[in-house]
Amino acid sequence: MLLIVASAADEASGNIRDRLLELGGWSEGGTFDGHRVWRRGDRLLVTIREHHLYVDDVDRKVREALGATPDAVVYVSKHRAASGQDSLTVHPIGNWHAADFGGRPGEVVPSAPDLMTDALRRLAAGAAPGYAATFEATHHGPYLETPTFYAEVGSGEGAWADAKAAAVLARTVLAVSDAGDPVAIGVGGGHYMPRIVDVALARRVSFGHLVPSHALDPPNYGALERAVERTKDARLVYFHRKAIPKPRFRELEGFFRDRGLETVRESDLATRPESRNL
């Protein structure tokens, strides 16, 4: 079961939730945190009152309140970018160092590589005009024990209120599935990790945790160890080599090799068939 979490404190989140409900096929299933619960096949939609970044353990709270144990969690959320570029984004969550925006310092949440990477591909195939589809690196809270990713629309108020963009995200969240691709951790690059996005769109690979270059100066090896542990079935690591100094690359390659992850180049990965349309 995929648990979809919306927040009443996030205007874009509410917009996406409303577009989800417009798609139909939902039945009411009680209340959670003062809001209606909705079920549609193996999707469970809840709304929380407070801002999602700072509400830990929603998976446990849903299990206790509703008797439902999710296999994965997706938060629908707003996105804000300094560039102002409108985007549809997906990303894992957790903190490499401090916890300035929820979660726990130096702690990452289990990733959902298959669902998250499938979401990226669907967003890229069906993005609303003017929107880029992209990964973001692992960042921010909240803290959970269930595989989790965020699906966001931004960058500003116009995008947060955009019903068409929200509908693309809504359809994506309902459609995501496991493609069965090899699982990798992605390392290196800026916050949006464009090189790793290109690889995910072109090759048969599902990315779990995404480690940006700025998190490697210095690296928190405890958090990196948890990223390996919390990316289920990870056997590969892909480096954006140009974004990592050679001494640090060699150090990191050895770290991941010692934990059973093989370093791969794009050419080592099978080519994907043409992207599916939404």
pLDDT digits (tens, 9 = 90+) for 16-52: 999 999 999 999 989 999 999 999 999 999 999 999 9
Residue that is written with structure tokens 């909705």 in the block: 38
Q: How far apart are CA 259 and CA 278, in angstroms?
A: 37
Q: For the chain, give the number of residues.
A: 278
* Domains with residue ranges and CATH for the chain: 2-175 (3.40.630.50), 183-268 (3.40.50.10700)
With 70 as the cut, is the pLDDT of residue 83 above it?
A: yes
Q: Three-class SS of residue 243?
A: helix
Helix (H) or strand (E) holding 160: helix 157-160
- 104 CB contacts (<8 Å, ≥6 apart)? 95, 141, 143
Asked whether 177 and 115 are in contact (CB, 8 A), the reply is yes
Instruction: Give the model's confidence band at 85: pLDDT under 50 very low, under 70 low, under 90 confident, else very high.
Output: confident
Q: How far apart are CA 269 and CA 20, in angstroms?
A: 34
The mean pLDDT of the chain is 95
β-sheet bridge partners, residue 132: 87
Tens of pLDDT, residues 121-174: 999 998 778 899 999 999 999 999 999 999 999 888 888 999 999 999 999 999
